[in-house]
Amino acid sequence: MRMPRLSTVIAVGALAFLLLPFIVVIGASFDTSNQFAIQFPPRNLSFMRYTEINPKYIDAVINSTIIAVIVSLLAAAFGLAASLGIVRGSLAGREIFKSFFRLPVQIPLIVTGAVFLQFFSWIGSFTGFYPARSLAGVVLAHLIVTIPYAIGSIAAMLERLHPSYEEAAQSLGASNWSVFWNVTFPSIRPGVAVGLFYAFAVSFGDVPIALFLVRDKTMTLPVQVFNDMQVDFQPSILALSTLVIILSLVMMLVIQKLVGLDFVLSSRQKR
């Protein structure tokens, strides 16, 4: 038998390293050997941790979900408009536009968070409207950093759609509106789906931006967990995290079924 390649050994190790944190969290969530301490590998398996999830986490999950849903829908809409302009538009410096619309992901997230904290209070100081007092603040801040992800997957799809499809529709008598709804949009729908998915994931998981913008009422799940991990770690967080992990896996499977893994991978917006 041939010796396994060194690269294969490293790959197995890397995969184990990447999965390790999730296995630990999932495993520890079923441990009930000690009320207050965390134990991995788990003993005395039970669902006890799942029954004592603190209501503040439920509120945080609801907030995070609302934010992520609004953000992903808006990001997909703006990303669609930008992609159509960049890929199909008649532009002198196409590459410059591409780089410009990619800018938000190249700024460290912590900087973006600080920027919006300052910007929103500056806006509030002369309009009386303080976005950070409601979910709007986090939504706006997340929107600008998720649009590049939406552009990444939608533009990738649009580049694969040869202009002759739109021309064929035109020559058959379709108006611009009809060309878009009957030909362009149906063809790039997978790109839009992946864009929605990435935008949702980025928004739902963000700490460094939301940290600056949330208050008690607008608390998001990652920030709540982040805060509690530093001061008051409750083992029921493990149960909630396990649910988030399972939900993410399910979403991943659904999106893969819909558009295929190759496309999900190839259209990932590079930071």
Q: Segment 96-155, which members bind another protein (CB under 8 A)?
A: 97-98, 100-101, 103-104, 106-111, 113-119, 122, 140-141, 143-144, 147
Number of Cβ within 10 Å of residue 102's Cβ equals: 17
Q: One symbol per residue from 163 to 182: x for binding another protein (CB under 8 A), - otherwise; what is it?
A: xxxxxxxxxxxxxx-xxx-x
Closest to another protein by CB, 22 vs 48, is 22
Asked if 137 and 131 touch (Cβ cutoff 8 Å), the reply is yes
How many residues touch another protein under the rule CB under 8 A: the total is: 118
79 binds another protein (CB under 8 A): yes
Least distance between another protein and beta carbon 69 (Å): 16
Candidates 78, 95, 77; CA nearest to 86 is 95
Contact partners, residue 42, CB within 8 Å, separation at least 6: 27, 28, 29, 30, 31, 33
Least distance between another protein and beta carbon 249 (Å): 6
Rounded-to-integer distance, Cα 198 and Cα 263, Å: 13
| Helix, strand, coil percentages in the chain from 3-state DSSP, rounded to 5 | 75, 0, 25
Closest to another protein by CB, 51 vs 270, is 270
Residue ranges in 200-219 that form contacts with another protein under rule CB under 8 A: 201, 204-208, 211-212
Least distance between another protein and beta carbon 210 (Å): 11
Per the structure block, which two tokens stand in for 140? 């706006």
Contact region with another protein (CB under 8 A), list: 45-53, 54-62, 92-100 = 92-100
Per the structure block, which two tokens stand in for 203? 């928004």
**Among 19, 45, 58, 254, which residue sits at the site for another protein (rule: CB under 8 A)?**
19
Q: One symbol per residue from 30 to 49: x for binding another protein (CB under 8 A), - otherwise; what is it?
A: --------x-xx--------
Number of Cβ within 10 Å of residue 112's Cβ equals: 21
Name the strand (E) or helix (H) holding 92: none
Least distance between another protein and beta carbon 45 (Å): 16
Contact region with another protein (CB under 8 A), list: 44-52, 55-63, 196-204 = 196-204
Residue ranges in 250-269 that form contacts with another protein under rule CB under 8 A: 252-253, 256, 261, 264-266, 268
φ and ψ of 134, to 5 deg: -130, -175
241 binds another protein (CB under 8 A): yes
Closest to another protein by CB, 19 vs 52, is 19
Contact partners, residue 138, CB within 8 Å, separation at least 6: 67, 132, 209, 210, 213, 214, 218, 220
